[in-house]
Structure 1
Amino acid sequence: MTDTSYRLGELTTDDAAASVARGDVVILPAGAFEQHGPAMPMATDLIRAEDMADRVAAALPGRVVIGPSLPVGVSPHHLGFAGTVTLRPATFLTVAREYVDSLAQHGWRRILVITGHAGNNATLGALAQDLLHDRPDIEFVWTAIASLAAPVTAKMDRAEVTGHCGESETAQMLHVAPHLVHADRLVPGTTALDQLDPLSRQARRTAPSLARRYDQLSANGVLGDPTTATADQGRAIVDAVTTALVDYVQEWLAA
């Protein structure tokens, strides 16, 4: 590996072979190409995942490489808004699996997917089970940024209903890529349970899984009030998630 790059796409094949020999962890950032309300870009989830991958790799020089991103995720629930592009779960699983198979063929055995899009979670879980079945030699780990951020975001989310391009995601983008946030377009979306249809309202109260198009949940695609988000809150979220991931990867490498 060169002294300055930890991105696999910037390395030579000799650098890649040296990474395999060291037993490095390969990180695959996964995102989505979907609406994020009036104020944030389609690639919000990928931008956050790639930024997190960079932070982990920079904290563990010479032990982590960043492989190719998965830029389009499972987002059929956002197709009611212009610009959204989605893959079917089976397609996303196939693409991710072929990334993993290619890396494993060269000898990498530790692979971590960081997803900025919760809509990918079910498919990544299925991929993990698939690999456990027929590639037990591969140590495959995946994590969602939102899950690791929950201890911090639980303290900052003020609306009764929040989530997509609401307080947490907007705060992270204000820290990570403020130039891509149209601050003058930040507006609240659906913020209260009584603004939801009865079935969605009951699902939020009792926590069962319910698939709903976002145009049925919010007129502008936003859940929560992004106008309350700040870059400092975003920094706290990013720092907490980075620490959790770095600690995990360090223990993984030591094991």
Structure 2
Amino acid sequence: MSAAPGGHRLAEMTTVEAEHAVTASPLVLVPAGAFEQHGPGLPLATDLVRAESVVQRVADRLRGRAVIGPSLPVGVSPHHLAFAGTISLSTTVFRALVREYLDGLYRHGWRKVLVITGHGGNNAALTTIAQDLLADLPDLEFAWTPLTPLAGDIVAGMATSEVHGHSGEAETAQMLHLAPELVRDDRLAPGTTELSELDGLARLARRPGHPVTQVRYDRLSAGGVLGDPCTARPEDGAAIVAAIVDRVTDYAEEWLKV
């Protein structure tokens, strides 16, 4: 059978090609993102752009042993709702949507699914899905991973602010590497960069080694940015993305041997 015109993308295959792919490409990669504010310099779809870019690179590296499933473009983002443009799913709806995706893939024969999420707000829901699947579909092998935390050692070597994260140095660097045309360089501006800028619960929420507290981002930063994106460099973004792709690909290759 000739290769599908869409390469690894399930959406661009015909139903006949999809039936063949169940056996030839037993792993499905699902990009998950969010539709939320990323400060004045980055687009609302930043998390999806990063996830889809990594998924494409991993699929290329796996050379036909994985297909790219449908994206999850909107995530769990209630902490960003004070900022214009943000659209959020409840955890209940997000979990239901992921399960519908998984049930559909399972029905047609896929038994290995990896969700790659660019948005940390999706993490808790993905964890509960994984737990439920152990009882509901025990023969479905389900995994998920965030992006930037996989390259924590690379980020640690960057010049970052005391407070950094959302729309900050590391995330902006990735976008400068992956989609520089979407970055409004002239609008990049520092957000909250030091713990001393925070007070009350917001300060507690950012302290490491303490109980987890959810705080709205308008309490953490007036502009929705943690860190200083003005110092972001595309070469740092390239190093972060390369590390993520290497580590996800290594995992997938080992998984495909099981």
Give the alignment of 1:122-137 within 5 angstroms.
Answer: 122-137=124-139
Query: In 2, are the aligned partners of 1:37 and 1:222 still within 8 Å (CA)?
Result: yes
Equivalent position of 2:247 in the other structure: 244
How far has the Cα of 1:3 moved from its partner? Answer: 6.3
1:228 corresponds, among 228, 231, 240, to 231
1:112 is paired with a residue whose SS is: strand
- What is the Cα deviation at residue 158 of structure 1? 1.8
* Unaligned ranges ≥5, structure 1: none
Matches within 5 A, 1:168-207: 168-205=170-207, 206-207=209-210
How far the C-alpha of 1:219 sits from its partner, in A, is 0.6
CA contact (8 A) 1:78 1:214 kept: yes
Secondary structure at the residue paired with 2:157?
Answer: helix
Q: How far off its partner does 1:54 sit?
A: 0.2
Q: Shift of the alpha carbon at 1:207? A: 3.4
Distance in structure 2 (CA, Å) of the matches to 1:38 and 1:203 = 23
RMSD: 1.1
When structure 1 is superposed on structure 2, of 128-137 and 107-116 the one drifting more is 128-137
Q: Which moved more, 1:22-31 or 1:168-177?
A: 22-31
Does residue 143 (structure 1) correspond to residue 131 (structure 2)? The answer is: no
Partners of 1:168 and 1:45 in 2: CA distance: 12
Residue aligning to 1:111: 113
Deviations 1:83-140 (Å, cap 9, x if unpaired)?
0000000100000000000000000000000000000000000110111111001000
Size of the aligned set, in residue pairs, is 255
Identical pairs, percent: 57
SS of the equivalent of 2:211 reads coil
SS in 1 for 2:31: strand
Match of 1:45 in 2: 47
Q: Does structure 1 retain, via aligned residues, the 8 Å contact 2:5–2:12?
A: no
Measured after TM superposition, the shift of residue 156 of structure 1 is 1.2
Q: Is the 8 A contact 1:23 1:109 kept in 2?
A: no
* Cα separation, 1, equivalents of 2:95 and 2:49: 21
Q: CA deviation at 1:162?
A: 0.5
Is the deviation greater in 195-204 or in 63-72? 195-204
Kept in 1: contact 2:117–2:146 (CA 8 A): yes
Deviation, 1:34, is 0.1
* Separation (CA, whole Å) in 2 of partners of 1:161 and 1:70: 29
1:24 aligns with 2:26: yes
Q: Which runs of 4+ in 1 moved over 4 A?
A: none
TM-score (norm 2): 0.96
Distance 1:56 1:226, change over 3 A: same
CA deviations over 1:127-173 (Å, ceiling 9, x no partner): 10111111001000000002212111122152110000000100000
Deviation at 1:204, TM superposition (A): 2.4
Corresponding position: 1:98 with 2:100:
yes
1:224 alignment partner AA:
G
- Residue identity opposite 2:227 in structure 1: G
Amino acid at match of 2:230: T
Q: Retained in 2: the 8 A contact 1:112–1:140?
A: yes
Q: Which runs of 5+ in 2 are unaligned?
A: none
| In structure 2, C-alpha distance between the alignment counterparts of 1:90 and 1:147, rounded to whole Å | 25
| C-alpha contact 1:53 1:114 (8 A) present in aligned 2 | yes
